[in-house]
Structure 1
């Protein structure tokens, strides 16, 4: 492989660009020539330009509250990247690396040019709308190889050949800065959630838990701007709670894990299913028990009652009782914490990268 051309729709601090940053950083260290095409603005991919062998091309793209505007912007980006991709027509041994199923324009161009097209599939399109299902069908037709992030996600694909399951992992530098300390974490009595303002992510339910459990501290880190958070609070008439701190988008979340006791994921499985759950793995790597949904790739990370609990957001009373139990029984907490740390070691970053590199360099 002489060059890797990577396409990622939206550069932010969510899970898929974080994983992509990890993979591209490792390949850049190995001297691979990389062209990255993604959106303009601050995000997990922004610092890749530090490597002289990484070139970044960017375009204007952002979401809108109006779905028609968002779709229009998305389609414009597909046309733009489809055309941009043709600059690599005569590039010898060039591989197209498509991160998520959304960049279908450059994937189609790559296929028409006879390039190898490797998809890193982070979503589960089959529990979303018809548009995502269409993109998933396109992926299965266009891809030379598909990398899935969980067995759950893989089970929905009809394609049999050249489909691989490679679970995500947490960067070594991230893990090295975590400070697991079960006794201190138990005493902090602090509940953490990281997510977005999308309704199905459970923001309102997290706030309700903070209201009910006013003996504990709650921290909510949202992948949003302060302005969007303020508007959400106003639109939903949310009261300010003394035991709840809310933070806008952060490029470094290690300090939050280092002062947390329990980490929640409250994604509503009736509206969306987590195909992996990177924040849950980050929490386990910090020795923190987690509470996650009962289905999806994220559920594969948790052995119920061993390193955390699997409870759906519809059972908010059970989640509240579970938090009380975890943060009231020190022996239980220390046991869960130790198991969390041990389970996190199954997801080795070196193994993840080697498997992905093997798919890319075939």
Structure 2
């Protein structure tokens, strides 16, 4: 008998909770239903696939010192809660702890003491402040048995800092994205709509100021820019109050049907600043590509493994707005050119199917038991 204990700190609608939710779906598909999920009281992708999360205290604050205190307190509570669960299940032959991201570090310690194996599921290249990042890397190096990275880029960056066995399992698409199809008429309508989509959290380093500037620069080109923000409306109102927003920019807050917005758009952008935030994979890129969207992505990090330049999209530094503008206009002015890119994007997205992810992640989990 085996049991899995999946530990995460903060659940929302960003990348790392999304990936852990896919692992939950894999365990469900494999009928490995002996699973416990531990997380704070936040809700997002993980809570959508599991209604039985063991909750522990964690909250954020505008005060950095208070946030640090809450974080450390959360790890103290998590350690004892997970340790108690593992000790209570001591008769179970194989107990595997999966720590999602570097942040819930106390789960690695509890896993080392009371579990058979501990896996770190690594999504981020660094955490600020740097002293915390350094501590987390050294801590996990001592207590985890294996690291699963979401990209070769991330593995190459951290394999000499997280000193343990590792493997790479690329993120995947939900089946509904792969199975979605579009007729020739729908594709032509999609291109004619001229909607450009970006999904982002409310951080300048994610390229939001550049996206707004791009929309402003192209407000007379018949293009619509849509930004889907991973935040509550009141947070967005505060953030965007410092910008002069052009009329061709729409902002949406956590819409329930992301698939619909990918289907309505004809280009998907990721404009993360390479000197402020390096994407370790780029899940929104493959989601967009699965719906026949060519993409524009950063020139460094995980997106380089996903996007074939000038084939399924373009790798362009977000600081080069003139190049991005020219690329958008070239694609918007030539349907046949766009169609070739769009079909290549859809084909590339199949490389990240849930079925392929499921096979690889199961192999990795079974390998360490």
TM-score when normalising by structure 2: 0.91
CA deviation profile, 1:87-133 (whole Å, cap 9, x unmatched):
11225221101111111011111112253101111111289833223
Question: In structure 2, which of residues 185, 190, 194 is the aligned counterpart of residue 185 of structure 1?
Answer: 190
Q: Which residue, out of 165, 168, 186, partners 1:165?
A: 168
> Secondary structure of the equivalent of 1:346?
helix
Partner residue, 2:53: 56
For the residues of structure 1 that align with 2:134 and 2:265, how far apart are their CA atoms?
Answer: 37
C-alpha spacing 1:211/1:358, structure 2 compared with 1 (3 Å): same
Is contact 2:57-2:77 (8 Å) kept? no
How many angstroms apart in 2 are the aligned matches of 1:72 and 1:252? 36
- Are the equivalent residues in 1 in contact too, given 2:148–2:169 (CA < 8 A)? yes
Aligned match for 1:211, one of 196, 210, 216: 216
CA 183–127 in structure 1, closer or farther in 2 if over 3 Å, else same: farther
CA distance in 2, matches of 1:282, 1:23: 17
Written as runs of structure 1 = structure 2, the 5 A alignment for 1:195-274 is 195-214=200-219, 215-234=222-241, 236=242, 238-274=243-279
The 2-side partners of 1:328 and 1:74 are apart by 50
Distance of 1:251 and 1:91 partners within structure 2? 42
Unaligned runs of 5+ in 1: none
Per-residue CA distance 1:139-169 (angstroms, 9 max, x = gap): 2322212111111111021257531011111
Query: C-alpha separation between the residues in 1 aligned to 2:31 and 2:205?
Result: 41
- Cα RMSD between the aligned structures? 1.9
**2:149 is the alignment partner of 1:152:** no
Paired position in structure 1 for 2:285: 280
Offset from partner CA, 1:309-338 (integer Å, 9 cap, x none): 111111112111211111112121111111
Count of matched residue pairs: 356
Alpha-carbon shift at residue 60 of structure 1 (Å): 4.2
2:335 aligned residue: 330
The answer to whether the Cα contact below 8 Å between 1:258 and 1:286 also exists between their aligned partners in 2 is: yes
Provide closer, same or farther for how the CA distance between residues 129 and 326 of structure 1 changes in structure 2, counting only shifts above 3 A.
farther
Q: 1:251 to 1:143 in 2, by over 3 A?
A: farther
Shift in CA distance, 233/250, structure 1 to aligned 2, threshold 3 Å:
same
Could you say if the C-alpha distance between residues 333 and 342 of structure 1 is closer, same or farther in structure 2, counting changes exceeding 3 Å? same
Counterparts of 1:116-131 in structure 2, within 5 Å, are 116-125=117-126, 129-131=130-132
Aligned twin of 1:102: 103
Q: Structure 2 vs 1, CA of residues 66 and 178 (structure 1 numbering), >3 Å: closer, same or farther?
A: farther
Which residue in the other structure is 2:69 paired with? 72
Distance in structure 2 (CA, Å) of the matches to 1:310 and 1:359: 31
Determine whether 1:314 maps to 2:314: no
> Aligned partners of 1:359, 1:329: CA distance in 2, in Å?
44
Once structures 1 and 2 are overlaid, which stretch shifts more, 224-233 or 73-82? 73-82
SS at 1:70's partner residue? helix
8 A contact 2:96–2:115 mirrored in 1: no
Change (3 A) 1:333 1:350: same
Residue equivalent to 1:175: 178
CA distance in 2 between partners of 1:124 and 1:206 (Å): 23
Structure 1 stretch 320-329 or stretch 255-264: which is displaced more?
Answer: 320-329
Q: Which moved more, 1:128-137 or 1:188-197?
A: 128-137
Contact conserved, 1:145 with 1:359, CA < 8 A, in 2? no
TM-score for both structures, normalised by structure 1: 0.93
Provide, for residues 165-212 of structure 1, a one-character-per-residue CA deviation record: whole Å limited to 9, x for no partner.
111110103433464753222111110000111110011111111111
SS at match of 2:287: helix
CA contact (8 A) 1:149 1:275 kept: yes
Are 1:223 and 1:250, in contact at CA under 8 Å, matched by a contact in 2?
no
Q: What is the alpha-carbon distance in structure 2 between the residues aligned to residue 72 and residue 177 of structure 1?
A: 45
Contact 1:224 1:248 (8 Å CA) reproduced = yes
Q: Does 1:9 align with 2:16?
A: no
Point out where structure 2 has 5 or more consecutive residues left out of the alignment: none
SS of the equivalent of 2:50 reads helix
